[in-house]
Amino acid sequence: KTIDLSAAEEVDQFKKRWPADLPTVTNVWTETSTKRNSENKQDRSLRLGFVLGPSGSGKTFFALHYLSRLFLVGSAKNLVTIYFQAKDPTVDFNQETNADAARELVAWIKKRVKEKTTIDIAGKKPLDMHVCIIIDEAGVAEVKGWFEDEKMLRALCAAAKELATSVAVVVSGTGLTANSVSSSDDAYVFRMKNWQAEDLAMILDNYKTSLHLVEGKETTKTIANA
C-alpha cells in the first residue's frame, strides 16, 4: 500500500508507467543493497537510504519500485509506503533554529496519514508493520542543508521509530551528495546510472501499438538502439 501525502503527481504517474525490473536499475539495487560495511557486515548504523542522481535519472521510479518493497523489509509481511516531497510538510527545516524538525516531521506524517486513511498510525504503540518513508525532492535549496546534516538525519531516523516496528527512511533529490554520512557504515547510497538500450526496449514494449512498427523490420530493440 502506498500513501501519497504529496500535492505532486509522481505516484499517479508511476502507477501508469507499467513499472518493471529494468536491468540497469536492478543492478543499482543489487550492487548497493549487498555492499558490505567496513567490518564486512551488512548492517548500517542508520535505517536510511539516499537516492542520488541528476534530474531525469529515474530516482523517483527507483525509490517507489524498488525501495518501497525491498529496502530493509526483513521478515515483515505488511508493507506500507509513505511518499511525499520535502516541500510538502509544514516544518521549518532549519538546523540552526529548529532542533525539533525531525519530531515535527513525524508528527506531520501521523496527522496526514490519519486524514487520508483509516490507519491509526498516531497510536501510542508503533504499528506492527514495515513502513518505508520516501522523502522526494530533498535537494531543493530550502531544505537541502537539513537533509545533508548527519545530526538531523539521525534525529529523523530515531523519531521515525514511533511509526512502526520496522521503518526505513529514503531521501531522494537532485543535488544531494550524502557526504555527511558514510556509505559504508551509516547509510545505503544508491547512485543512479544511465539507462541502457535494453532498459528502453523493455519500456517501449508497453507502447507497441502506438509505435506503428514496420513488421519484419522494426522491433522495440531496434528502436531503442537507434
Q: What is the pLDDT along the chain (226 residues), one digit of tens a residue?
A: 899 999 888 998 888 776 678 888 899 999 999 999 999 998 999 999 999 999 989 899 999 999 999 999 999 999 999 999 999 999 999 988 898 999 999 999 999 999 999 887 767 778 899 999 999 999 999 999 999 999 999 999 999 999 999 999 999 999 999 999 999 999 999 999 877 777 677 666 666 677 676 777 767 677 667 6
**Of 100, 104, 76, the residue nearest 89 (C-alpha):** 104
Check residue 56 and give its pLDDT: 87
Residue whose C-alpha cell is 522523502? 135
Contact 2, 83 (CB under 8 A): yes
Q: Are 173 and 138 in contact (CB under 8 A)?
A: yes
For residue 113, the tally of other CB atoms under 10 A from its CB is 20
| Predicted pLDDT of residue 96 | 87
* DSSP-derived 3-state class of residue 57: coil
Q: Which residues does residue 20 pair with via DSSP β-bridges, in sequence order?
A: none
The answer to whether 29 touches 72, Cβ cutoff 8 Å, is no
pLDDT at position 82, please?
97
Q: At 138, list the grid cell.
A: 530533498
The amino acid at residue 49 is: G
pLDDT given for residue 149 in this prediction: 96
Cα separations in angstroms, 141 against 73, 148, 178, 216: 31, 11, 15, 51
At 163, which amino acid appears? L
The β-bridge partners of 48 are 169
C-alpha triplet 78, 79, 81: angle, nearest 5°: 155
Q: Are 102 and 163 in contact (CB under 8 A)?
A: no
Q: What is the pLDDT of residue 18?
A: 64
- Hey, what's the cell of 71? 529496502
Under a CB-based contact definition with an 8 Å cutoff, are residues 135 and 170 in contact? yes
Burial class, 43, CB count within 10 angstroms (exposed 0-12 / middle 13-18 / buried 19+): exposed
